[in-house]
Structure 1
Amino acid sequence: MPVTEVTTDPEALTMTLIADFAAPAERLWQAFTDPRELERFWGPPGWPATFTEFDLSVGGRARYHMTGPRGERAGAVWEFLAIEEPRSIEVLDSFVDEDGQPSEGMPTTRMVLSFEPTPDGSRLRSTNYFTSAEALEQIVAIGFVEGSTMAMNQLDRVLAGLRDYAQGKGTQVGLLDDTHVRITRLIEGPRELVWRAHHDPDLLRRWMLGPDGWSMTTCEVAPAVGGRYHYAWAQDGVPGTEFGFEGETLLSEPPRRAVTTERMVGMEGPGTVNDMNLEEEDGATLLTLFIEYPDLQTRDMILATGMADGMEDSYARLESVLASDTAPR
């Protein structure tokens, strides 16, 4: 992972994150000064950022919000204090409400981002300066260290480019913590069509099948927030093998993001929250699926079923469907 160190200093009232990347400092600078690239990594998994304002000039402002899997929002504003291209950016970082006003009870910090050349690429040093020990403790308590680490660990895929980062690796499963998993798969095809393939019943029946020899017997989609979906499969020619999943759509931002709940039909207890994100680059789409499990035991039980292998079979089939002459374009 790129992040190598996160330290807090109660005496100096600072929090410092260090991360190393196999890319030149100029490329790192570009990622932090292009709002469209920032959106691809600034928010931690499950809380992607959307920049609605970005004036990279001393005295200028950047405004963004992060959207949680259930539609929650957290906003912030940067006021640019100093800019030294391509080596450092200094901002005043404030939490804000939906009207852009400072959030009551939340601290404002001074953040300095520096981009340093190294023999193998570049180093990011991000230092937050606090006005009091209480403000530092408050930020630590809300998970800022963990969130910043997970966010910056997403930057390597932006710097490398999606094809170099993911092509040829197939379906990759990463454990983020005891209850969160990240699954990635590069799919050859434009984002709009990959999105459609996840919401069009005719296309879904052609690729979301897992291993060979299975058919989708029920395909009830729910593209709108609040809608309920139901999918079921059965092994061809084998009675009594049908099983299915059902759930609700929590968030829909076509063609970028969809969040749904998921539970096996007939099973009791809480299910999972599945957060699908799509990024396109050079005609290929990186599908990233963040899965939130109710507990560690459920996570390990589901992963042990060979879920990732079944997903790889389906995604490989999806690429064939997208490339076929009969696929809608």
Structure 2
Amino acid sequence: MPVTDVITDPQALTLSVTAEFPAPVERLWKAYADPRQLERFWGPPGWPATFTSFDHTVGGFAQYRMNGPKGESSSGSWEFTHIDEPRGFEVIDRFVGDDGRPLPDMPAMRMTFAFEPFDGGSRMVTVSHFASVEALEQVVAMGVVEGTKMAMSQLDAVLQDLREYAQGKGTRLELLDDTHVRITRLVDGPRELVWRAHTEPELVRQWMLGPEGWEMTECTDSTVVGETYRNSWAPVGDTPGEPFGFEGEVLLVDAPRRAVTTERMQGTDGPSTLNDLSLYEEDGATLITLLIEYPDLATRDMILATGMVDGMEASYDRLEHAILVPES
């Protein structure tokens, strides 16, 4: 986790966050100066940011919107008040409505970002300055500390070349907290085709099979918000195991980048998980990221103990071949 320290100081009316990264200051600066790179980490997992404007000059404004997994949204704006490339910058950060105007019941804060060389990489210190203790407490109560930590955990992938970051490392599992995990896998193929492989039943049946010896007996995927889906599997021949399946509802679709669904075991009343799939392409490779929210720690550990990640790696290996063959 890049974040090394978080200090809330009611007397100074500040919230300070320190993070360290294995990349030079100039590379860290570029991540904050490019809105397309900012979008990959500014919002915490499950709340990705979209910058709709970005005037990176003193006196200029940047506007962004973060979209939650259930269709929620939160918008903000930056007013750039100081820029010192590549050592840092300062903004006035405001919560805004759909019309871009500041929300009167939400606090504004002055934020300074300072980048400095550190131990072969770089250190970032972000300090948020508030007008009152009440404003500081309001923002902390909204979960900004945990949200910042989780957002910063995404920056390592941005600072590295995507293939350097993920190629050959298989399916990786990160435990973000008691109820959230992040699973990533790089596949060598274009995002459009990876999206189709996740959403078109005739393609899903070719790869989403788990370990050897299993077959997909039912696949009714949907990309329409509000519709339901069902996927079922069964062992083939003498393969041990009992048939099972999952079903759920489509909550959000942003083709070909993101899809959010619920998921529960067929024939049960729950518990359900929230599955947030996102796809990012760079240099012809696509990073698949699946953020899963569990109802509690016990459910998380029970499901992970089934060997789910190993089964996903077997499926992703098939997916990689499935997307390469049509292009060869």
Letter in 2 for 1:53: S
Letter in 2 for 1:59: G
| 2:71 aligned counterpart, secondary structure | coil
CA distance in 2, matches of 1:215, 1:323: 21
CA distance in 2, matches of 1:106, 1:44: 19
CA distance in 1, matches of 2:276, 2:207: 20
Partner of 1:25: 25
Cα displacement string for residues 76-115 of structure 1 (whole angstroms, at most 9, x for unaligned residues): 0101101111111110000011111212311000001111
CA distance in 2, matches of 1:52, 1:170: 34
Partner of 2:143: 143
Partner of 1:277: 278
Partner of 1:301: 302
Letter in 1 for 2:211: P
CA distance in 1, matches of 2:207, 2:213: 12
CA distance in 2, matches of 1:196, 1:180: 26
Are residue 259 (structure 1) and residue 224 (structure 2) matched? no
- TM-score when scaled to structure 2? 0.97
Identify which range, 141-150 or 235-244, moves more after superposition: 235-244
Partner of 1:268: 269
Per-residue deviation at 1:166?
1.2
Letter in 1 for 2:270: G
Letter in 2 for 1:106: M
Q: Trace 1:27-42 onto structure 2 (pairs within 5 A).
A: 27-42=27-42
Q: Trace 1:129-168 onto structure 2 (pairs within 5 A).
A: 129-168=129-168
Cα displacement string for residues 12-65 of structure 1 (whole angstroms, at most 9, x for unaligned residues): 111111111111111111000100000001100100000000000111100001
Cα displacement string for residues 147-194 of structure 1 (whole angstroms, at most 9, x for unaligned residues): 011111211110012111111211111111111111111111111111
Letter in 1 for 2:70: R
CA distance in 2, matches of 1:309, 1:227: 29
CA distance in 2, matches of 1:102, 1:49: 18
Per-residue deviation at 1:238?
5.5
Cα displacement string for residues 179-228 of structure 1 (whole angstroms, at most 9, x for unaligned residues): 11111111111111111100111110000000111111111011111111
Letter in 1 for 2:305: A
Q: Cα–Cα, structure 1 residues 119 and 175, in superposed 2: closer, same or farther, change >3 Å?
A: closer
| 1:32 aligned counterpart, secondary structure | helix
Per-residue deviation at 1:328?
6.9
Letter in 1 for 2:76: A
Are residue 179 (structure 1) and residue 172 (structure 2) matched? no
Partner of 2:68: 68
5+ residue gaps, structure 1: none
Aligned residue pair count: 327
CA distance in 2, matches of 1:116, 1:134: 31
Letter in 1 for 2:19: A
Give me the CA root mean square deviation.
1.3
Are residue 320 (structure 1) and residue 321 (structure 2) matched? yes
Per-residue deviation at 1:119?
3.4
| 1:198 aligned counterpart, secondary structure | helix
Letter in 2 for 1:272: T
Are residue 189 (structure 1) and residue 181 (structure 2) matched? no
Per-residue deviation at 1:243?
1.2
CA distance in 1, matches of 2:125, 2:153: 13
| 1:90 aligned counterpart, secondary structure | strand
Letter in 2 for 1:21: F
| 1:169 aligned counterpart, secondary structure | coil
CA distance in 2, matches of 1:69, 1:267: 23
CA distance in 2, matches of 1:172, 1:120: 26
- TM-score when scaled to structure 1? 0.97
| 2:74 aligned counterpart, secondary structure | strand
| 2:199 aligned counterpart, secondary structure | coil
CA distance in 2, matches of 1:94, 1:50: 16
Partner of 2:229: 229
Per-residue deviation at 1:135?
0.7
Per-residue deviation at 1:129?
0.4
Letter in 1 for 2:210: G
| 2:184 aligned counterpart, secondary structure | strand
Are residue 10 (structure 1) and residue 5 (structure 2) matched? no
Letter in 2 for 1:254: A
CA distance in 2, matches of 1:103, 1:182: 32
Letter in 1 for 2:173: V
| 2:147 aligned counterpart, secondary structure | helix
